[in-house]
Amino acid sequence: MTQLERARNNEITLEMEKAASKDGIDPEDLRRSIANGNTVIPANKLHRHLEPIAIGKVASTKINANFGTSPYDADVEKELRKQEASIRHGADTVMDLSTGGDLDSIRSTLIAACTVPFGTVPIYQAMADAESIDDVDGDAMIQAVRRHAEQGVDFVTVHAGVTQDVIPLLKGRLGGVVSRGGSFLVSWMMKNEANNPLYERFDEVIDIAYEYDVTLSLGDGLRPGCLSDASDKAQYHELKVLGDLTKKAWARDVQVMIEGPGHVPLHLIKENIEMQKEHCHGAPFYVLGPLVTDIGAGYDHITSAIGGALAASYGADFLCYVTPSEHLKLPNIEEVIDGVIASKIAAHAADIAKGFPGAMEWDDRISRARRNLDWDEQIRLTVNPNRAKMLREQSEIDTDECTMCGQYCALKAFTED
């Protein structure tokens, strides 16, 4: 039985207890939200050492870190270090997007070391396994989902919403199709003059997901790749298809999240969240960024933190981080950490705005330490104590002042007591 099925049967599972405790929320509230499809606990029955967390309406905003090998760099040790650093710096989930090297072996190595929900995009496997991309068939796509499920993957991106009828709507896009899965499937459908197998055979995907309790993360293969394409017909057409698929999965007790953009200007973020909640019946929303401008390559952890904070404050549940390397190269470990921290800041700022219980306490504690010039406590409480400590130590002073103001410290000049 899946978490969704058990929630519907009024059972509070061990996973629900643990996830609720982690967020400081009521387990019964969590159960009810899972039963309604508004919250998920991605927890493959075969993923050992998993510490379950909840993603959705009643939970705190969660963040995901992507990594994985590429055809240019297929060293699993590097990716293991990125995974470890991501989790240590606050990633709530990770996704292995490997496309280079022995994917099965890389995946099993990473999962074995992973204590947080582990996500993948099985279609990359189908693409990598084929002699040529043109050789990929529907069986291979479904088979990849099964193989990942068997290995203990907790959530899989499935681009089942990319359908043949959307192709004419892509005409005139400035940015084209920027999802690797989406782009492959559009191209596949055009060459094969057939509809997307992941859509046509979605029941088989559901069967696999049910068997292992894999959460389906319905991919936004047609997400905008630049501001100009944001909220276009193709994007919203896919979103509606994903809404239909959500109902199909729910009818079979399979947990669902919906993936979203991407590149969205500030003033369209609210509309994007509202459209998703409406078309996808309140399923959790997992956004990539969104980036609020296209000019930020080298700094897209910042452009996406701006969009992510706003998106989550409007109701997005789950933020996929973006690293400073986005649009330029595969990130290294420092860039992975920068991405995690930026995303963590965005998620936390949104939790404060949403009034998530306990969120403001963290800020109050650090502000009290700052007011009291208690540097150790202040540094301990920052989002990345190592970095704060390093910056403070650069000053080479041993007073309670800092090198910004010295004796003109505002906190020293005026004291109430």
Site for a copy of itself in 372-391 (CB under 8 A): 378-379, 381-384, 387-388, 391
The one among 33, 38, 61, 99 contacting a copy of itself by CB under 8 A:
99
With beta carbons less than 8 A apart as the criterion, state whether 239 and 279 touch.
yes
Interface residue with a copy of itself among 10, 24, 187, 400 (CB under 8 A) is 187
Concatenated DSSP letters of 77-118: HHHHHHHHHHHHTT-SEEEE---SS-HHHHHHHHHHT--S-E
Show contacts with a copy of itself in window 26-85 (CB under 8 A).
70-73
Q: Which H helix or E strand runs over 259? A: strand 256-260
The C-alpha angle with vertex 165 and arms to 161 and 170, in degrees rounded to 5, equals 85
**Is 184 or 250 the residue whose CB approaches a copy of itself more closely?**
184
Residues 345-374 that bind a copy of itself (CB under 8 A): 345-346, 348-350, 352-354, 360, 362-364, 366-368, 370-371
Q: Among 38, 61, 179, 272, which residue sits at the site for a copy of itself (rule: CB under 8 A)?
A: 179
How many Cβ atoms from other residues are within 10 Å of residue 417's Cβ?
Answer: 2
The CA–CA distances, whole Å, from 324 to 297, 301, 306 equal 7, 5, 14
Identify which of residues 10 and 395 has a Cβ nearer to a copy of itself in the complex: 395
**E strand spans, 46-202:** 55-56, 62-67, 93-96, 118-120, 155-158
Contact pick of 8, 22, 252, 327 for a copy of itself (by CB under 8 A): 327
Footprint of a copy of itself on 191-250 (CB under 8 A): 225-228
Residue nearer to a copy of itself on the CB measure, 48 or 371: 371
> Least separation, in Å, of the C-beta of 87 and a copy of itself?
19
CA distances from 12 to 15, 27, 50, 365, 385 (A): 8, 7, 18, 33, 36
Closer to a copy of itself at the Cβ: 12 or 170?
A: 170
Q: Which amino acid is at 345?
A: I
| Least Cβ distance, residue 355 to a copy of itself (angstroms) | 8
Site for a copy of itself, residues 106 to 145, rule: CB under 8 A: 124, 127-128, 133
Closest CA to 40 of 28, 23, 52, 24: 52
Least Cβ distance, residue 220 to a copy of itself (angstroms): 13
Q: Hey, which residues between 293 and 322 contact a copy of itself (CB under 8 A)?
A: 293-299, 301-303, 305-306, 309-310, 313
Of 266, 271, 357, 358, the one binding a copy of itself (CB under 8 A) is 266
State the DSSP string of 314-356. TT--EEE---TTTTTS---HHHHHHHHHHHHHHHHHHHHHHT-
Identify which of residues 26 and 274 has a Cβ nearer to a copy of itself in the complex: 274
